Structure 1
Amino acid sequence: MKSQTKVILPENKKPKLIFFAGKGGVGKTSMSCVTALYLAEKGFKTLLLTTDPASHIGEVFEQPIGDKIQPIAGVENLYGLKIDPKQAAEEYKERIFTEAAKNNYSEEMMMGLREELDSPCTEEMAAFDRFTDYADNEEFDAIIFDTAPTGHTLRLLELPLSWNKQIELKTAMNTVNEGDLKAQERFKRVISKMRDKEQTTFAFVVYPENTPIQEAYRAVEELKGAEIYTQLVIANQVLPEEYCTTAYFQKRKEMQDKHLKVIHEKFDCEILQMPLFAEEIKGIDTIREAANALYK
């Protein structure tokens, strides 16, 4: 078993990508913020990035975080970015249409392109396209990717794999352009990083309850099909034993302990426990306290 924190620490002077996933509402954003602060205060230049419209990283740090990389006040080495998926999709479509016009697409081809880009997947594709812009550079020592719920995340990660197949088809039909090839190469580099355990950590956040555990396990198994392996599971909101002094909380603690045992049996990776705080994890002091509790 790896020592605590090793799975998230950048090594060998290579940037580290860290993805947080899990069932909606289990605390991915909080754990992303906690991890980002922890790494920044270890001296690593860290970017906290999200494409999830439901993410509230700005609320957790109690300061606005927009669609441009900006330093997070009060924490040295820490930067934040919230990508608006709808805006990213519009910019993505505009770029595709501009390239198509330059390549003299016929009206029929343009109609087909518009129909294809009206797909719900376009927003996710555009968000991933924006993410690869950051994942493919070495400006930061660590990039924390606060993801959307599990199903969205899996589709997001599968998109570039499917897109590569489309590019290969276009190549065979002699309709591929230079932009396609550059994008394909960039996607391949990022996918390669995702599959490299030294460069990427996939972390799942779960409550010690049956439904989030089972959903995370299914997602972990699906990721294996893409040769992506989970290295960290965080059991969130675990009741501290010293506070379980009433019959109600003792029973809740007993239930959690059973589920924690299941977590250790199901997931072959580092497992950390985040204790339940009496207050919401919000504000730099509380985030720092949570980081000390999680990454002891």
Structure 2
Amino acid sequence: MSDHEVLRAAQRHTGVRAAHERPLSGEATVVTLRDGREVVVKHGPGPGAAVAEASGLRWLAEHGDVPIPEVHGADDDWLVIDYIPRGRPTVEAAETFGRGLAALHLRQAPAFGSAPPGGRTDAWIGHARMRNEPHDDWPSFYARCRVEPYVRQAVDRGLFSAGEAAVFDEVCGRLPALAGAGEPPSRLHGDAWSGNVHWGADDRVWLLDPAAHGGHRETDLAMLRLFGTPLLDHVLGAYREAAEDLGRPLAPCDEQRVPLHQLFPLLVHTVLFGGGYASKARSAAHAALRAPG
């Protein structure tokens, strides 16, 4: 992508001429507009990705539970959102974020696997394709749309042997018992690893880069644990208190189900990056089978 294309996308979706740009990370660029505002211009990794991300951001922002960057526009290739200057982690921000995330999850979704309004059935998580297909129950959705497709890809690429993949088949077969108490579908960020938990200069925690869908709230919480979110104990402690105050505490033994919910991101990383993620995914599957339902 050229600098000219980036500036033109910023102007098209904001209605304001672009002054200059600077790299941010990956396929994202910060553009300063003529009126002094700064926006982020992102090039989607594939067809429909920018529109899918825009719909997810709007859906998550609907009730103001957690700070979400404003979407200025999206098209087949480009997404334009507000730029949020970076700050530092604080306990107060972490606890406010935990409470807000609990409220966001209680907004619920039409079904497990449902896409955000205006979203896509064929969506993306990072640079991997992800299918949002409504299901009546979480175990069926998780097996069919979040585990099995990535195991098949990994086997096809030689990352798992057929014997190594058998543990994932066992997990999927036992999911109704492993999943814990049933609960309604939550409105999920869907890719809440530490890199998408943005500590803003305004002393608030912002959520970026969603793979939003209707799912199980423990999935977002497990993702927060995966790559070292700062002040995580404060985030989760405030989440638990808020969930109880809102009348929907987490089901018993939720921490023992963390490996089950981490299977999805670990399998995605296996498909994208290979290496040690394949063994981490297998280890998570074995741990999931040992955990009580």
Q: TM-score, normalised by structure 1?
A: 0.28
Structure in which a larger fraction of residues adopt helix: 1
Answer 1 or 2: higher relative contact order, Cα 8 Å, separation at least 6: 1
* Structure of larger gyration radius: 1
Q: TM-score, normalised by structure 2?
A: 0.28
